[in-house]
Amino acid sequence: MSLQLIPPDINIDFVGKRYFFVVLSTLINIAALVCLFTNGFNYGVDFKGGSVVQLKFDHPTSGEQIRKALASLDLGDVTVQDFGAQDQNQYLVRFEQIKNIGSVGTRIQGAVNEAYSGSNKAEVLRVETVGAKVGHDLRVDGFLAVAFATLFMGIYIAIQFRGVSWSFGAGAVIALIHDVLVVSLALIISRYEFDLTTLAALLTVIGFSVHDTIIVSDRIREDSTKRRRESIATIMNSAINETLSRTILTSGTALTVLASLLVLGGPILRPAAFTLFVGIITGTYSSIYIAGPVVLFWEGDQKSKGSASRAA
């Protein structure tokens, strides 16, 4: 006897609850946009440009004291940030001016140790430098990569499902924008560094999410040719229920792997694993509660017969 997680005759009213989830998602997306424009991502040096120097002190100190110690180096606008737990006494010094950048780590260590005159020894743990122009270009390219991936997937789905309705493309695009915003919000709240690896994970989320949307949309297309007299809302709800087992199994197995990566994968993989973990959850959710409702809003609940006959 096989183990069935989801009974074959399951009939959850997903479509009926769409208003609640659309409002919930809209609120989350508004929160994400507000956070994006206020707090923003914790950009890695790849995207931010300039230099970042990580200092470790023997005893606690303050950002102001560090700034004063570095004043003689003419680094331009310097920001100093506490980094890590309080007992670690680590600080991140960021500055954009990279004139005479050579040996900046040695010079900073020298200047700080001279200013503290041996009372609090500092050690440079990390120096990273990316030109401001390169950082800006990478940020623009990253944004364009996400935007074009979303747009072209929407166009692709619109073409593939044109027989049922062109609105499937719009539904997919809105679901993808929703996923990107939710993952962005999670990254902003968690303060994981947004670097090139995280961007690659975000693009992967887009790929996964659209894959899930296609499965549901494909079943809707299939059912709409067989059940022409039923409303598109009924067909959509039954398509979601019919594909629920597959959705839970594929997302569940992917999440199991990502949970392992998140916990055991170590620091290198953690931000990317976190991005994918949140992205797969939201991608699965949006395939059910965002892509479908957009089609319903677009088409209206009663238009299924006409759409179905076009498909036939």
Partner 1 sequence: MALELRTGRGIYRLVTAAPPKAENGSQILTLALERADGIERVVFGCRIDSSLPDSGAEAEQILTTLGPWVERDFEQIREAALKTIRTERKLHEIELNRDRPGPFRVA
Task: State how far the Cα of 33 lies from the Cα of 177, in Å rounded to an integer.
Answer: 11
> Site for partner 1 (CB under 8 A): which residue of 90, 165, 209, 284?
90
Residue entry with tokens 């970042």: 52
CA distance 55 to 259: 32
**How remote is the C-alpha of 80 from its chain's centroid?**
27
Cα angle: 141, vertex 191, 53; to 5 degrees: 80
**Interface characters, 216-255, with partner 1 (x: CB under 8 A):** ----------------------------------------
Q: Which of 50, 142, 171, 271 lies at the binding interface for partner 1 (CB under 8 A)?
A: 271
* Binding of residue 85 to partner 1 (CB under 8 A): yes
Among 88, 256, 260, 302, binds partner 1 (CB under 8 A): 88
The count of residues interacting with partner 1 (CB under 8 A) is 29
Q: Is 95 in the site for partner 1 (CB under 8 A)?
A: no
Element (H, E) at 169: helix 167-190
Q: For residue 51, state whether it binds partner 1 (rule: CB under 8 A).
A: yes
**Angular region, 59: left φ>0, alpha ψ -120 to 50, beta rest:** beta
Q: Is 61 in the site for partner 1 (CB under 8 A)?
A: no
CA distance 235 to 168: 14
Torsion of CA 268, 270, 275, 279, to 10 degrees: 130
Answer yes or no whether residue 35 interacts with partner 1 by CB under 8 A.
Answer: no
Out of 3, 102, 118, 229, the only residue in the binding site for partner 1 (CB under 8 A) is 102
- Collapsing DSSP to helix, strand or coil, 194 comes out as strand
Among 105, 171, 279, 293, binds partner 1 (CB under 8 A): 105
Regarding 112 and contact with partner 1 (CB under 8 A), the answer is no
Residues in touch with partner 1 (CB under 8 A): 44, 51, 54, 83-85, 88, 90, 98, 101-106, 123-129, 192-193, 266-268, 270-271
